[in-house]
Every structure is written in structure tokens, then in C-alpha cells.
Structure 1
Amino acid sequence: MAGQPLIGMSTYLAGAQWSVWDMEAVLLPAGYPRLVQRAGGLAVMLPPDAPERAAAAVARIDGLVVAGGPDVDPSRYDAERSPLTGPPAPERDTWELALIEAALAARVPLLGVCRGMQLLNVALGGTLVQHIDGHADGVGIFGRHSVKPVPGTLYAAAVPEETSVPTYHHQAVDRLGKGLAASAYAEDGTVEAIELPESDGWVVGVQWHPEMGEDARVMRELVRAAS
């Protein structure tokens, strides 16, 4: 389409405080829209909604970002809850899984970030490791580590060299979902990016947080695919 593509971003639904107010709010770290804007897109928020509205929402955007956030409920991939898994966020799980399914059906370019990558894997029948160490520097503190691309993948086309990325997660992909391939790994063997074959459109998930860094190349590829 002509002009800047409209990129929808999923959001939190959480209690928040600002000015004199303390109430439920739709939230998303500002790094997400800023990264979309730097990459040449127009950013719009998609707060949790009824799953039957997901297809209509996706029909109005050119690209989708499923943002980071709380742990995916293990019941979504038929696993028992680990004591180390965080509280569920059913409204996000339901809405974002519906958004992913609608985007895949409509071949709308999709980027999953951290939780979003994990949900993409779960949406396609994959499973998750509920706890790993070494991918954050503490509660609320982003770490950094190297990520190595797999040659010949969509991710490698965007970022061909090994890079240091901002990271904050304690869960990871275990069994890959149907059709998905790993396209980057951390030094410890953790799957750090996944994707569908290019013939299925532009569908990529990254386990780190590009919105917390300066490298906009992955988001630029989403925006390019959505243009």
C-alpha cells in the first residue's frame, strides 16, 4: 500500500498510577511504538478484546507486533504449571493467540517479541521450557548476550552477523510448533529466533527485546513486508 504501513501492537491490561489516577490502564512500553516509528511505520495499540474481533482488527492493519509480557499459561500447551512460572494473564493469552491465528490466516506480516515469540510457537502446537537461567540480570534488569543467526533464514537476511541483544526472559521455546524453524541461537543453545518459511509470508519471532536497543533492522523488515 502507499504511505507508511499501519503496525498494530498488542498491549498489557493492568493497574497503573499516573498524575492523581490509580486505575486499570492499557499499557505498552514506549520503546515499542518508538521502534515502529524509527523503522518507518505508524504505530497503533491493540488492547485485549474479544477473540472473535481479532480477524476484523487484523484486517485493518498492515503488520502485527505481539509484544513481550507475562508468562504464557502452561495450560495453553498442555503442561503442568511450574512453581517458577508467573501468574497467568488470560485476557492477553486469549486475545493474542486470536491475533496470531488471524494474522497467519490473512498472511499479515507478524513479529513476536519475547512472550510474543513464545505465543507464536504455542499457537502452532509448540511447547515451552518454563524456566531457564542466565537471560536477565535480575528482577526488572535487562541483560545482554550474543545471538547467532542461522544462515539462509529471514532473520539472517535482516541481521547476518552475530550480535549482542537486550534480553529479559526466563522461559524459552522447547518443541517447535508446526512449520516453524529456529533462525537464531544464544551461546547456551537457547532458541532465540523462530520463523515460518518465506513462502508463508513474513513471520518471525525473537526472544530478546529489540525495543530496548538501537538495532531496528528486524522491525524494518516487518515494516518493509507490511508496505
Structure 2
Amino acid sequence: MAETRTPDSRRRSERSRRAIYEAALALVTEVGYTRTTIEGIAARAGVGKQTIYRWWPSKAAVLLEAFLDLAAQTSEGGTELPDTGDLAADLRLVLRATVDELNDPAHEGPSRALAAAGVVDAEVGAQFVEKLMEPQIEAYIRRLRSAEAVGQMRAGTNARIAVELFIGPLTHRWLLRTLPLTHEYADTLVEYALHGLAPRA
């Protein structure tokens, strides 16, 4: 008599969850956040919409979790910034990688959707900042403090404000879409932030 195995509900749930992640990210990239619906995600993932509502309260919550999962899969070596001893070179490397990610359709669509969702849904916005932005900001802060410790940055610098000098303009240009987001722009941000705009002696 053939052995009958009990279906593994945990494995089935994980397959469904991953299918939902992929469906949510694909849909929001293809049709935008407004036209993405729970029904559409469910149909594309091959699950019932009640399965989605059992795990998430809204499409914004689905997208946030899916994007966090994508970010975890694509980040290599964690969130730490390189520390080669050359602060400018390390920052250029990281900002160029950020430019590439923001220009990548697989990341750009979900990122813009979450930015929009976070404006109208305070909870989603807070979770996006806490779970994605804050770890990245803290990594920048640790790198800048390391530079300060070896005399590459002025002592007593507010590291968090310093970080904003790099990522703030980058995000602003990305959100407005009026000018291209390039490696050259990233390099210029590092130059201006580290050396200022005043004439050099």
C-alpha cells in the first residue's frame, strides 16, 4: 500500500506568500499603485483574496512586506558601508549603487508606490522608515563616525544631518524626475557635501 503523506501546510503557505510578493511587485511596476488591487494580486498569485486579507490588512501592507523581502534578498553583505579608509571613495561607491537601484524598474515602481502610500497612510510610512530607511541611515552614521575617529571629518559633526546631505538631494531629484539620476550626480554630491562650496585656499 502506497504511503500517504500529510500535506505540509507551512510549505504551502510559504509558496503562497512568495507568489503574493512577486505578484504585488510585478503589478505595481506594470500598472502603478492606484490600479493595483488586492483582487489583482490574488488573481496573479493564484490564491483567493481572503488568503491575502488573512495575512495583511491592505495592499499597502502587502507591498511593504514584499519590498522589504526584495531588499533583504538583493542587499549583499548587509547594510554596512565599505570602509577602505577613503571616505570619499566609499561614499561615491554607495551612492552610485543607490542610483543604479533607484533607476532599476524592479525597485523604482515599488519604491515610488510606497513613497506615495506612506504620505496618505501614516502607519505604512512609519514602518517603511523604521524597517528600511533607518537601518540604511544608521549604516551611513557608523561610517561617518569611523571617519571622524581617524580625523577625516570635523570633530563634533552631527552625523545624521551629514547623512542627509548625501541622500536628501538624491531622493529629491528621484522624486521630481525632472533631471537624470546619474553616477556623475552622485559623485558631485559627495564632493559638495565633503568639501563645501566656498573657494579653496
Asked if Structure 1 and Structure 2 have the same fold, meaning a TM-score greater than 0.5 normalized by the shorter chain, the answer is no
TM-score (norm. length: structure 1): 0.25
Give 1 or 2: higher strand fraction.
1
The structure with the larger Rg is: 2
TM-score between both structures, scaled by the size of structure 2: 0.27
